[in-house]
Amino acid sequence: LAVASTSVATTLGRTAAANLLKFLPGAGSVAGGVINASVASGFTMAMGQAWLAVCQKAAGGQLPKLNGVVDAEAVGHLFEEEFRKRMPTIRQKRD
């Protein structure tokens, strides 16, 4: 669920940024492509860093377990938490 919601957010953000700039004749298409790429790269970077944090906890045996099995819901919440922490950092680096 966390991956799906992140993918939807990525697609919506990318589409919104590109479509808003297409209202500018000529330059809008070029700028839309540049913004589209920067939005996508920011989301991709944040997603990668969030999954890295989750995998590091998994490798260290720090993920919560339910009946001896890793709790998938807890992993999803951890991913979302890590992703949210990293998005402001990505935005600041681009600005």
Give the mean pLDDT of 18-23. 60
Give the mean pLDDT of 7-25. 63
Q: What is the pLDDT of residue 42?
A: 81
Name the DSSP letter for residue 64.
-
- pLDDT at residue 94 above 60? no
Give the mean pLDDT of 7-17. 65
Q: What is the pLDDT of residue 40?
A: 75
Is residue 65 within 8 Å of 71, Cβ to Cβ? yes
Give the mean pLDDT of 8-18. 65
SS3 (DSSP) at 43: helix
Q: Which amino acid is at 12?
A: L
b/e map of 18-50 (b: 16 or more CB within 10 Å)? Answer: beebeeeeeeeeebbeebbeebbebbebbbebb
Q: What is the pLDDT of residue 57?
A: 94
pLDDT tens readout for residues 24-74? 566 555 655 666 677 777 888 888 999 999 999 999 999 988 888 999 999
